[in-house]
Amino acid sequence: MSNTKDKKPLILVSNDDGITANGIRKLVDLMKQIGEVVVVAPDSPQSGMGHAITIGNTLRLFRERIFPEVEAYKCSGTPADCVKLGKHHVLKDRTIDLVVSGINHGANTSISVLYSGTMSAAIEGAIEGTPAIGFSLCDYDPEADFDHADEWILKITEQTLKRGLPKYTALNVNIPPKRIEKVKGVKVCRQANAKWEEVFDQRRDPTGKPYFWLGGNFVNFDKGEDNDEWAIANNYISVVPCQFDLTAHHAINYMNEEWEL
């Protein structure tokens, strides 16, 4: 890869944990080894925002000198807003080669991809026709160690830039927490059939008014060995290619044949 600045790939970096999170600092440091980096990230944590966008409120964007030698902006909106502003305002006269989101503090395996702000930033890039990757570390500790993932993040990113992805595809990459045993490798796999079984704990505030606190348990119904939950449990990095087309294609013929419309 050329060291000439104008030959380097242009990489837009975002996240959902906010611009000051340790995960995005690590990701920026890694992406600087590969290309020219521009950051547009939320000014505060936006976990669980899914693909929400700001419609009825103002969006604010401020230059932030938080990463050495990197052009960076903090945004008052959601992760999807950040990528939209990066594409259509900050870098409107340039071609983005890759959108990268993360590194998220916590897993985004199985059904969590639908709720994930990290993955929504990546999928927003895919919607624009740009290759995109969302990276997550399966460790919720804000001080978690990311170092064991460095070589894998670089390898997956470099392969994406070199080999490309099918158009409108975003990779959902989940990394096991740091263990005594080294990461075994990468599994390109599918999303597991798993979900959260929610429990709403009803409580009362100091004035006696009721409120609810969401909790629950994660349940994995999938017994296969070709999914992201299996990969993480067995100390592999999972890579799930994702798309924004939510059509249940298998249901179209069934409905056309069985329904009376």
Q: Name the residue with tokens 């995960």.
A: 23
Cβ(108)–Cβ(136) under 8 Å? Answer: yes
Indicate the SS3 state at residue 82: helix
Residue 156 backbone dihedrals phi, psi, to 5 degrees:
-65, -40
Cβ(12)–Cβ(75) under 8 Å? Answer: no
The verdict on whether residue 16 carries a ligand-binding annotation is: yes
Q: Give strand pairing partners of 202.
A: 212
Cβ(73)–Cβ(40) under 8 Å? Answer: yes
The verdict on whether residue 120 carries a ligand-binding annotation is: no
Q: Where are the alpha helices (DSSP H) in the chain?
A: 22-31, 79-85, 117-127, 150-163, 228-233, 249-258
CA distance 213 to 198: 10
DSSP state of 88: I
The verdict on whether residue 238 carries a ligand-binding annotation is: no
CA distance 61 to 136: 25
Lookup: tokens for 193: 């059939």
The verdict on whether residue 235 carries a ligand-binding annotation is: no
Binding residues: 16-17, 47, 104
Binding residues for a divalent metal cation: 16-17, 47, 104
